[in-house]
């Protein structure tokens, strides 16, 4: 595993991957780290990629952050096929490995969930394994969270599964189920591997997120020197 490549995936679409990814990139850049970010495949718009570009301080072009984008709001593979296009795994890896080479840390954001089809014959899982990246699974903290997280972890091979971090996106008002979800997952996986990310009002401005001490505590787990230890 290459702990200097972080792959942010999720249990579904719209769970907070971009909020977390952009915050992590901005935090690392603020710490003086030579960080790059990529959402290699977008469909239904490029707003997520623009958030990452903003977090980078516009250091990379939008097409470098997001080389493949498609109009239809579908899984990227399906959206690409509607346009008669194909995205092979080798092309995506070539792009991401160049970013790995040119930067100290690379943050990659997937599209949809861990097993959503991204291109021809690959999902986020294949990218994680080929890049030897540390996975971070983002999931809203709500009823059903435990099952969703454990199913996502089950799809990852060992030892990657045992190096994966979980970030629970907290709701506006905490209830018993949210506290017990966190406690159970922390007991199962280890307290260091499960982090609650605080609820913050929309729009999620980067200065607001970085100014929140609870958010900074979570993001600090990826501050260099990074390690793959659990």
Residues labelled as active-site residues: 39
- Residues contacting residue 198 through CB under 8 Å, at least 6 positions apart: 170, 212, 214, 215
Alpha-carbon distance values, 216 to 20, 156, 185, 198, 200 (Å): 11, 28, 21, 10, 13
Q: How far apart are CA 99 and CA 26, in angstroms?
A: 17
Query: What are the beta bridge partners of residue 120?
Result: 88
In 10 A of CB 152, how many CB atoms?
24
- Residues contacting residue 117 through CB under 8 Å, at least 6 positions apart: 75, 76, 77, 78, 123
Q: Where are the alpha helices (DSSP H) in the chain?
A: 17-30, 47-55, 62-65, 76-82, 89-102, 124-131, 145-154, 160-163, 176-189, 206-210, 213-219
Query: What is the distance, to the nearest Å, from the Cα of residue 228 to the centroid of all Cα atoms in its chain?
Result: 16
Query: What is the distance, to the nearest Å, from the Cα of residue 115 to the centroid of all Cα atoms in its chain?
Result: 13
Whether the CA torsion 218, 164, 22, 98 is positive or negative: it is positive
């Amino acid at each position: 595993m290459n702990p200097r490549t972080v792959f942010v995936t999720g249990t579904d679409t719209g769970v907070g991957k971009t909020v977390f990814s952009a915050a992590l990139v901005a935090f690392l850049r603020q710490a003086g780290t030579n960080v790059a970010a990529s959402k290699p495949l977008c469909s239904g718009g490029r707003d997520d990629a623009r958030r990452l570009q903003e977090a980078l301080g516009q250091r990379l072009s939008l097409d470098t952050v997001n080389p493949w984008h498609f109009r239809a709001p579908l899984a990227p593979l399906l959206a690409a096929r509607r346009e008669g296009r194909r995205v092979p795994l080798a092309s995506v890896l070539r792009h991401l490995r160049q970013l790995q080479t040119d930067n100290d840390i690379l943050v990659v954001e997937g599209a949809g969930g861990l097993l959503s089809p991204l291109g021809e014959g690959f999902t986020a899982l294949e990218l994680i394994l080929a890049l030897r990246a540390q996975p971070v699974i983002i999931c809203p903290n709500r009823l059903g969270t435990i099952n969703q997280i454990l199913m996502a972890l089950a799809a990852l091979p060992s030892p990657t599964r045992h190096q994966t971090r979980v970030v629970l996106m907290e709701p506006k008002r905490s209830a018993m189920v949210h506290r017990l979800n966190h406690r159970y997952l922390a007991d199962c996986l280890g307290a260091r591997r499960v982090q609650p990310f605080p609820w913050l009002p929309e729009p999620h401005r980067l200065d607001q997120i970085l100014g929140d001490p609870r958010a900074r505590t979570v993001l600090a787990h990826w501050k260099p020197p990074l390690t793959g230890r659990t």
